[in-house]
Amino acid sequence: MKTLWHNCHAASMVGGRYSIIENAAILTDGPLIEWIGAAHAAPPADATQVDLGGAWVTPGLIDCHTHTVFGGNRSGEFEQRLQGVSYAEIAAAGGGIASTVRATRAATADELFASARRRLVSLLRDGVTTVEMKSGYGLDLANERKLLQVIRRLGEELPVTVRATCLAAHALPPEYAGQADAYIDHICTQMLPALAEEGLVDAVDAFCEYLAFSPEQVERLFKVAQGLDLPVKLHAEQLSSLHGSTLAARYHALSADHLEFMTEDDAQAMAAAGTVAVLLPGAFYFLRETQLPPMEALRKHGVQIAIASDLNPGTSPALSLRLMMNMACTLFRMTPEEALAGVTLHAATALGMQASHGSLEAGKHADFVAWDIDRPADLAYWLGGELNKRVVRHGALVSI
Ligand code: DI6
Ligand code: FE
């Protein structure tokens, strides 16, 4: 079953960077792209024709860093922070991640599924066709399993490709207060091997920060992940510089994420390892941070830069990836072209999916969005909201 999608322009991302084809056509065969190029050069084919009315076609957007599944929410803490109470003070008083852990443990899988589904639908309405979701609010085997199973189920029941990341090393659970090394041991010897064996884990992540886990603890986890053949990622240099991003590069991590406090040496190590820099402007904005990620060092060393929502209840209740594109431009001084590459091409690499996703090329998945916009920069220009568009996944139109 072939389809020729025509009367469009394409921001194809071919060649490993932002690139466009004006007056383009795309021939799909079932779930895959068979051919893409200038419309006049389209190969003859017995194909259904779809007129896209002059739309701009981009790869389906990829949100490569989210914590979509959690119980409760923290709008009360948002109000407290607006009154001047700090994130660290709230955490010390038993709020913060710990309060979401309590609410998540108390919720049933069905309740978690229902609330996460609503948030995920918001992301999908914004043109997202692939999303990564992390566990990390369960912090014991049964509850991390519950989260990862909900993540798998979201991928089965909604028109989106899902990658599940185990973030058991997100925070210290109350049962292990004062015993971070023992908790890391428990993850390494019990939780991760069991969850991996059950097929629930596509990658392993950790929060490397002075208020979470040290580089030494993260390295122990990475060694176990490596032994289980699981790729790693890392929350690094969000609040301070511990060189977690260099450690991530040493383990050929798919990505290091946040990175406001990274150094030029970290950028060099990441570039050499092909580790993607995932920037999270929603968290930067919501915490009213002032330390900007070192854009010039990242560009100079040729680190691939992705943008993601970091959707989570504490630091980035962000329901629009396009709003993150806008913030990446206004706050981090990225160009709209860089922002678009950051939610397609480089986001695919941050998930290890670059062979099949992230650009419009023959042989890749036919996951794309036909936007009724004048120019690709319009995607980063509007502050969220729903744009007119058609979403194609696995070669077929989807409605959400
Ligand atoms: N970094 C973050 O910004 C979130 N997790 C992380 O490792 C915060 C999560 C939360 O506050 O619930
Ligand atoms: Fe995060």
Quick one: which atom of ligand 1 is closest to the CA of 100? 12
Counting beta carbons within 10 angstroms of the beta carbon of residue 281, is it exposed (0 to 12), middle (13 to 18) or buried (19 or more)? buried
42-52 confidence digits (pLDDT tens) = 998 899 999 99
Q: Are strands 276-279 and 305-307 parallel, antiparallel or unpaired?
A: parallel
Nearest Cα residue to atom 2 of ligand 1? 315
Written in H, E and C, the secondary structure of 33-102 is EEEEEEHHHCCCCCCEEEEEEEEEEEECEEECCCCCCCCCCCHHHHHHHHCCCCHHHHHHCCCCHHHHHH
Quick one: which atom of ligand 1 is closest to the CA of 70? 12
Q: Are residues 150 and 93 in the same domain?
A: yes
7-19 confidence digits (pLDDT tens) = 999 999 999 999 9
Q: Are residues 237 and 292 in the same domain?
A: yes
CATH number at residue 381: 2.30.40.10
DSSP code of residue 326: H
Counting ligands in written order, the one closest to the CA of 132 is 2
CA of 272 to the centre of ligand 1 (A): 28
User: Is 355 inside a domain boundary?
Assistant: no
Q: Are residues 253 and 377 in the same domain?
A: no
Which run of H or of E encompasses 397?
Answer: strand 396-398
Quick one: which atom of ligand 1 is closest to the CA of 313? 12
Q: Are residues 77 and 193 in the same domain?
A: yes
CA of 69 to the centre of ligand 2 (A): 12
Task: Note the pLDDT of residue 92.
Answer: 85
The predicted model gives 105-132 an average pLDDT of 98
CATH number at residue 169: 3.20.20.140
The predicted model gives 252-264 an average pLDDT of 98
DSSP code of residue 387: P
Nearest Cα residue to atom 10 of ligand 1? 314
Q: Are residues 146 and 194 in the same domain?
A: yes
Task: Note the pLDDT of residue 211.
Answer: 87
Alpha carbons 29 and 110: distance in angstroms, whole number: 36
Q: Are residues 311 and 381 in the same domain?
A: no
Residue closest to 383 by CA, chosen among 298, 325, 312, 339? 325
Task: Note the pLDDT of residue 400.
Answer: 85
Q: Are residues 258 and 289 in the same domain?
A: yes
Q: Are residues 155 and 273 in the same domain?
A: yes
Percentage of the residues of the chain whose pLDDT score is greater than 70: 100
Q: Are residues 50 and 153 in the same domain?
A: no
Q: Are residues 376 and 265 in the same domain?
A: no
CA of 239 to the centre of ligand 1 (A): 11
Q: Are residues 142 and 166 in the same domain?
A: yes
User: Is 87 inside a domain boundary?
Assistant: yes
Nearest Cα residue to atom 9 of ligand 1? 314
Alpha carbons 60 and 392: distance in angstroms, whole number: 8
Q: Spell out which residues line ligand 1, taking CB within 6 angstroms.
A: 96-97, 100, 170, 207, 235, 238, 283, 310, 312-315
Total structural domains within the chain? 2
Phi/psi of residue 49, nearest 5 degrees: -100, 135
CA of 57 to the centre of ligand 1 (A): 33
Counting ligands in written order, the one closest to the CA of 136 is 1
Q: Which two tokens stand for residue 315?
A: 């630091």
**Residue 275, pLDDT above cutoff 90:** yes
Q: Are residues 190 and 167 in the same domain?
A: yes
Domain that holds residue 8: 2-58+360-398
The predicted model gives 300-315 an average pLDDT of 98
Which residue out of 65, 67, 285 has the highest number of ligand 1 atoms within 8 Å of its CB and is therefore the one to mutate? Answer: 67
Nearest Cα residue to atom 4 of ligand 1? 315
Alpha carbons 74 and 146: distance in angstroms, whole number: 21
